Amino acid sequence: MSDTKQNIRHLSLEDLTAYFASIGEKKFRTKQVHEWIWKKNAQGFDDMTDVSKELRQKMAEQFSFPSLSVDATQFSSDGTIKSRFTTYDGHKIEGVLIPTEKRNTACVSSQIGCSLTCKFCATGKMERKRNLDFDEIYNQVALINEQSEKTYNKKLSNVVFMGMGEPLLNYKNVLKAIDKLTSNEGLAMSPKRITVSTAGVAKMIRQLGDDKVRFNLALSLHAADDKKRDSIMPINESNSIDELISALNYFYEKTKNDITLEYILFKDLNDSIEDAEHLVKIYRQIPTHLVNVIEYNPIAGAEFTKPDEDATKTFTDYLVAHRVNVRVRRSRGKDIDAACGQLANK
């Protein structure tokens, strides 16, 4: 991508209007081209089939049109589809389409790599190369939406920011991408069907409250006391559980949006009745509507294993007995390394 050319996806409607006026084009061109860029998810100027070749040429001389390309696609036996995308500058990211009877969900990445080094996550072992731009995040969702329509004859119903990277460390781009996804100019999705998952950046959780966002929030908790959480999630050293509880309460007070706690069960680490007690205490301090207990998905070079079914049942039964709204989330796409914590550009 040439440094001298502006990315056409970064032009506002007003910018686009001004550009077409400056080259003597009619007003309707703005809407036409804008729709190609966003609603129709054009991947380049040549896709704009009802725009004259001459005008496409003019735009190509003036602007760049960086797009993701699908580099590899893997199909799981359970219907999950994992795509590896290549960015305009040659980096790889992954996104996953998770179909169920009721909904088709895109699990998307927000960064190339990740800087948080959570011990149980394959992405955490990769270096963070850069943040994804808002248009790259949007492009990723739109491509997975096309996949959903083509394979399952259904549009995406939900988007979860649970792929590669920490969304709240790419705050502006993630919010701008969600604005586009929920706008009538874009995919017109309901913000209530979008969930941003964070490893716990207390300051930015509060910022979400101040910005009165309309989407839901999930906290990757994974351990219910600071010592254990420090050992598997280094971010906890600067964002303690108490700080996160306070930030989540602030977020809820400002937005009234759903908060989910995510809790991966690790054998002999966080699966005891004592751990369940600690989790109940945290649950009671936050207006959370759900605890997702997630089965651990093995990754290379990690020492963790998942507890057996009996231990999982004992743990979740304790939560239920103490009036915790809990759901055991079975992993999807494990056979293609598409499950929670497994995304590493394989």
Query: What residues in the chain have per-residue pLDDT under 70?
Result: 1-3, 331, 333-334, 336-346
Active site residues: 94, 340
List pLDDT tens digits, range 276-333: 999 999 999 999 989 999 988 777 777 889 899 999 999 999 999 999 999 997 767 6
In 3D, which of 205, 201, 235, 200 has the Cα closest to residue 219?
Answer: 200
Residue range 113-127, pLDDT digits in tens: 888 888 888 777 788
Domains in the chain, please, with CATH?
Answer: 6-64 (1.10.150.530), 69-336 (3.20.20.70)
Give me the pLDDT at residue 4, please: 82
The predicted structure's pLDDT at residue 29:
95
CB atoms < 10 A from the CB of 177, how many? 28
Dmax (CA) for the chain in angstroms is 72
pTM over 0.75: yes
Q: Which residues are within 8 A (CB) of 89 and not within 5 positions of it... i.e. 6 or more apart?
A: 1
Q: Tell me, what's the pLDDT at 121?
A: 82
Which pLDDT score, from 0 to 100, does residue 336 have?
63
- Please tell me the predicted confidence (pLDDT) of residue 14: 95
Q: Report whether 226 contacts 241 (CB < 8 A).
A: yes
Q: pLDDT at position 329, please?
A: 78
Ranges of H-type helices in the chain: 13-22, 28-37, 53-62, 134-152, 171-182, 202-210, 226-232, 241-255, 273-285, 309-321
pLDDT value of position 119: 82
